[in-house]
Amino acid sequence: MDEIFQNLATGFGGAFTPVNLGLCLIGCLLGTLIGVLPGIGPIATIAMLLPITYGLSPLGALIMLAGIYYGAQYGGSTTAVLVNLPGESSSVVTCLDGYQMAKKGRAGSALTIAALGSLFAGCVGTLLLAAFAPILAKFAEQFRSPEYFALMLFGLIAAVVLASGSVVKAIAMVVLGLLFGLVGTDVSSGVTRYGFGVPELYDGIDFVPVAVGLFGLAEIMSNLDKREENRDLASKVGSLWPTREETRRAIPAVLRGTVVGSLLGILPGGGAVLSSFAAYTLEKKISKHPEEFGKGAVEGVAAPEAANNAGAQTSFIPLLTLGIPSTPVMAIMVGAMMIQGIAPGTALIKERPDLFWGIVASMWIGNVMLVIINLPLIGLWVKLLHVPYRILFPIILVLCCVGTYSTGNATTLVVMLAIFSVLGYVFVKLGCETAPFLLGFVLGPLMEENLRRSMVISFGDPLIFVQRPISATILAMTFGLVLLIVLPQFRKTREVAF
């Protein structure tokens, strides 16, 4: 117990200097700004700011960058709720119910729940780190390729459960996403697949054009189908505060989301991607009203937002100890550490406790600052919905193109954005859901990579997956999930429920 306080004291002592607080504030403001502008990602911003950090103290530099990261995630949820535009994989799930809430005039409520849920999850994440960082690092080390394969397989099967409507369509979408995910150079053999001689495809299809096209632009197009007065858009603006009923439903969802997110965030790579999806699936599974999901369920916003933030917090464990980033932004954070001559490793916690705990403390401070910055802004964001669509749509379109271009400075990315917008429109017309597609797209390649690596390491012996206890447990759970989908009894209830 003493240790927790000592750790937190070290951390807050370092983070609570005027300079570091100022850097934290600048980072949070900048992050919120770029997060709210659809498509302009934190990656380009952080990379541009990196040279400035040469002159800062290591702690100050990392505090500012972490601020940008959180701010951007925060801002990303704002656009997800208001205009159905996910900035990165973590805010995809927020689109599902957040945007539906906005359509019902509950945009302000959705944003408030997201903000407070994230703050709570952030606080828990910080305490978890302070109490158990070394133990958690040990747990993370148990996860090797076979465990990842099992986890990704579980995620893909869960994606079918996640979808509402036809199971066949959901499976088809997961498989289609998987196929798109296979484009690019195969990690194990170095062979390029579906490259068609286009060098930009050698590293696979970028996530940003896929997500922005499938969600945001496809939504805009399907809205333009309808007559102006019938357009089904988030133009109603209700009370900014959650009702008592909404609060009652959000609180347990935030708690569950925090647990799921904290656990998955610890796993190096892949884990954080899954956290918001997993939290959403869990909520839908245990909810008494699963039919409300996808139509503006409060739990569908609260749980994934909490999971996302808790996961972001605990993912600093694999980042700081193993140097394995969970997202591209985290990868830049490793870069920033290297500039300062800090090599990631478990020794870091012992050798530079000021730095390790300083970052942990600053994450908490950043979370508080973000709530302070964002709560008054919610009214302003919601007012954006008053902008007439003939003005809003072209602006969103331009910003999406600019943002997509800037992720890799390539026009090919904008072409891909156009292709995926059309594809997303077709999906909407066919009544196919996009979320399982994206999950297949993100998890498929990770699953393949880990499957093949496990098989190479075991020299072709598939028993490697069942001889390892963690992998065997996850596979058993996956099998249970498959049974649930296949068993006729479940299918009946599912049809009634969804």
Partner 1 sequence: MMKSSNRDCGIIAAGIAVVACVLSSALPGPAFAQSYPDRPIKVTVGFPAGSGADILCRYVLEGMARISSATFVVENKPGAAGNIGSDAVAKAKPDGYALLMGASSTQAGNPQVYKDLPWHPVRNFEPVASFARLAYTLTVASNNPAKTVADLTQQLKAKAGKATFGFGNTSSLAAASLYTHEAGLTVTSVAYKSTPQALSDVAEGQTDFMFSEPVLAIGQEKAGKVRNLAVTSQQRMISLPNVPTMAEVGLGNATMSPWWAIYAPAKTPPEILAKLADWANKATTTPETAEFMLKQGMEPFPGTPESTAKHLAATIDEWGRIVKIVKIEPQ
Residue 394 sits in the site that holds partner 1 (CB under 8 A): no
Helix H, strand E, coil C: the string for 135-203 is HHHHHHHCCCHHHHHHHHHHHHHHHHHHCCCCHHHHHHHHHHHHHHHCCEECCCCCCEECCCCCHHHCC
- Pick from 12, 346, 397, 472 the residue near partner 1 by CB under 8 A: 346
Closest approach of Cβ 308 to partner 1, in Å? 21
Radius of gyration of the chain from its Cα atoms, rounded to whole angstroms: 22
Residue 196 sits in the site that holds partner 1 (CB under 8 A): no
Alpha helix (H) residue ranges in 54-91: 58-83
Cα–Cα distance, 381 to 363 (Å, whole number): 24
Residue 397 sits in the site that holds partner 1 (CB under 8 A): no
Closest approach of Cβ 448 to partner 1, in Å? 12
Residue 190 sits in the site that holds partner 1 (CB under 8 A): yes
Reference 235, options 105, 355, 111, 364; nearest CA is 105
Identity of residue 81: V
CA-CA-CA-CA torsion sign (316, 318, 324, 326): negative
Closest approach of Cβ 351 to partner 1, in Å? 7
- Pick from 179, 221, 348, 415 the residue near partner 1 by CB under 8 A: 348
Closest to partner 1 by CB, 75 vs 436, is 75
Choices 79-87, 149-157, 334-342, 483-491 (CB under 8 A): range interacting with partner 1: 334-342
Choices 36-44, 213-221, 352-360, 428-436 (CB under 8 A): range interacting with partner 1: 36-44
Reference 182, options 193, 196, 170; nearest CA is 193
Look up residue 193 and give its two tokens.
């697949």
The residue length of the chain stands at: 498
Alpha helix (H) residue ranges in 234-340: 244-266, 271-286, 299-314, 316-317, 328-339
Residue 290 sits in the site that holds partner 1 (CB under 8 A): no
- Pick from 13, 345, 469, 480 the residue near partner 1 by CB under 8 A: 345
Residue 76 sits in the site that holds partner 1 (CB under 8 A): no
- Pick from 9, 22, 188, 480 the residue near partner 1 by CB under 8 A: 188
Cα–Cα distance, 117 to 114 (Å, whole number): 5
Residue 3 sits in the site that holds partner 1 (CB under 8 A): no
Residue 203 sits in the site that holds partner 1 (CB under 8 A): yes
- Pick from 1, 459, 488, 496 the residue near partner 1 by CB under 8 A: 459
Q: How many residues bind partner 1 (CB under 8 A)?
A: 70
- Pick from 138, 231, 289, 383 the residue near partner 1 by CB under 8 A: 383
| Ramachandran sector of residue 399 (left: φ over 0; alpha: ψ -120 to 50; beta: rest) | alpha
> Residue 326: helix, strand or coil by DSSP?
coil
Closest to partner 1 by CB, 251 vs 402, is 402
Residues in the site for partner 1, rule: CB under 8 A? 33, 36-37, 40, 43-48, 50-51, 54, 141, 144-145, 185, 187-192, 199-200, 202-203, 268-269, 321-324, 328, 331-332, 334-336, 338-339, 341, 343-348, 351, 380, 383-384, 386-388, 391, 395, 398-399, 402-403, 406, 408-410, 449, 453, 456-457, 459
